[in-house]
Amino acid sequence: MNDSVTANPLTDPFGRSISSLRISVTDRCNLNCIYCHHEGNDCVHAESEISKQTILNLVGAARCHGVNKLKFSGGEPLMRSDFEEIISELPRMKNISATTNGVMLADRAHDLKDSGLDRVNISLDTLDPERYRYITNGSSHLLERVMDGIHMAVDAGLVPVKLNMVLLKGLNDSEIEDMLDFVRGYSDGVVLQLIELMDFNGIPSYRIDADAIEQYLASRAKSIITRKMHRRKKYLIDGAAVEFVRPIDNSQFCAACNRLRVTPQGKLKPCLLVNDNLVDIEGADCRQMHELLRTAVSRRVPFCR
């Protein structure tokens, strides 16, 4: 098929067109964060991982339907030693990004950029080593490695680097201003992304008041932009850009959900929070992928309505 032609855009029964794939390449991770949602995957200890060829076949087919953005996540995607190889064999897309905890990023940032990765999101919930240890169940020294990872990502041009800060009431919510200052230190190469906790891990006591956070950001912002994806708000505050990801009980967020997910076991996942409607794609060839994509998209229902 001629790649420049978009055949049959993938539109779900609720009129949401799919423009992006979010591919979780592994469940493995070198941290164990207290809020980890494992990308909504309820099968986190499977032995095999989605193969490079399945990813390439899927992306090739999805591209013919107008998908132009890819997000790679995990677990921790850099746990896969063939991650750079996967990126380098992908067809050209509008944007290819990865979400990482940053611990192993410093040494690989330049290779990733050379392989074709456009940008990264890096978890940074706190600037305090002791809090970092508590939140990630890792060593406090790893925070320095994350800082090196952020530095090298900017140096390699994996920008804008988004710093993912999951807001945890009483734990790190006092650090928002410090994080804004940190982001300003990188001028426009780094964006702060505040994330509302998805508390299905039994840690509801950390849930923040999202309305209050939104009001606070609005009161500080010179301008506010609404992104197409999830209708997320982006605030510009004295030279720092801040996005707020607010997925809880948010029908607007789900109404503007344009991503199809892929699990590390090689299944299309119509929604982060639903596990009984997956479509197996492992081993499918390019031709079969078109039909499998259509099946998964036909099963998409907004989680919040």
Ligand X SMILES: Nc1nc2c(ncn2[C@@H]2O[C@H](COP(=O)(O)OP(=O)(O)OP(=O)(O)O)[C@@H](O)[C@H]2O)c(=O)[nH]1
Q: Applying CB under 6 A, does 257 fall inside the site for ligand X?
A: yes
Q: How far is the CB of 241 from ligand SF4 (least distance, A)?
A: 22
Q: Applying CB under 6 A, does 164 fall inside the site for ligand X?
A: yes
Q: How far is the CB of 272 from ligand X (least distance, A)?
A: 4
CB nearer ligand X, residue 16 or residue 259: 259
170 marked among binding-site residues: no
CB nearer ligand SF4, residue 98 or residue 180: 98
Element (H, E) at 210: helix 210-220
286 marked among binding-site residues: no
Q: Applying CB under 6 A, does 233 fall inside the site for ligand X?
A: no
**Phi, psi (degrees; rounded to nearest 5) at 61:** -70, -45
Residue 126 CB burial class (10 angstroms; 0-12, 13-18, ≥19): buried
75 marked among binding-site residues: yes
261 marked among binding-site residues: yes
**Which of ligand SF4, ligand X, none does residue 193 bind (CB under 5 to 8 Å by kind)?**
ligand X
10 Å Cβ neighbour count for 170? 9
Q: How far is the CB of 80 from ligand X (least distance, A)?
A: 16
Q: How far is CA 130 from CA 133, 134, 135, 137, 147, in A?
A: 5, 6, 9, 10, 15
CB nearer ligand X, residue 71 or residue 284: 71
Among 119, 197, 111, which Cα is nearest to 154's? Answer: 119
Select from 245, 260, 268, 296 the one that contacts ligand X (CB under 6 A).
245
| Contact (Cβ atoms closer than 8 angstroms) between residue 205 and residue 169 | yes
Residue ranges with strand state E in 169-228:
190-196, 223-226
22 marked among binding-site residues: yes
The token duo for 254 is 């789900």
Q: Applying CB under 6 A, does 193 fall inside the site for ligand X?
A: yes
256 Cβ contact partners less than 8 Å away, ≥ 6 residues apart: 16, 228, 229, 230, 231
User: Which DSSP state fits 42?
Assistant: S
Q: Applying CB under 6 A, does 97 fall inside the site for ligand X?
A: yes
| Contact (Cβ atoms closer than 8 angstroms) between residue 172 and residue 192 | no
**By the criterion CB under 6 A, which residues form the site for ligand SF4?**
29, 31-33, 36, 74-76, 101, 123, 230, 247, 253-254, 257, 271-273, 302-303
10 Å Cβ neighbour count for 137? 11
Binding site for ligand X (CB under 6 A): 71, 73, 97, 99, 121, 162, 164, 193, 195, 198, 245, 247, 257, 259, 272
Question: Which segments are annotated as binding site for GTP?
Answer: 22, 71, 99, 162, 259-261
Question: Which segments are annotated as binding site?
Answer: 22, 29, 33, 35-36, 71, 75, 99, 123, 162, 254, 257, 259-261, 271
Question: Which segments are annotated as binding site for S-adenosyl-L-methionine?
Answer: 35, 75, 123
Question: Which segments are annotated as binding site for [4Fe-4S] cluster?
Answer: 29, 33, 36, 254, 257, 271
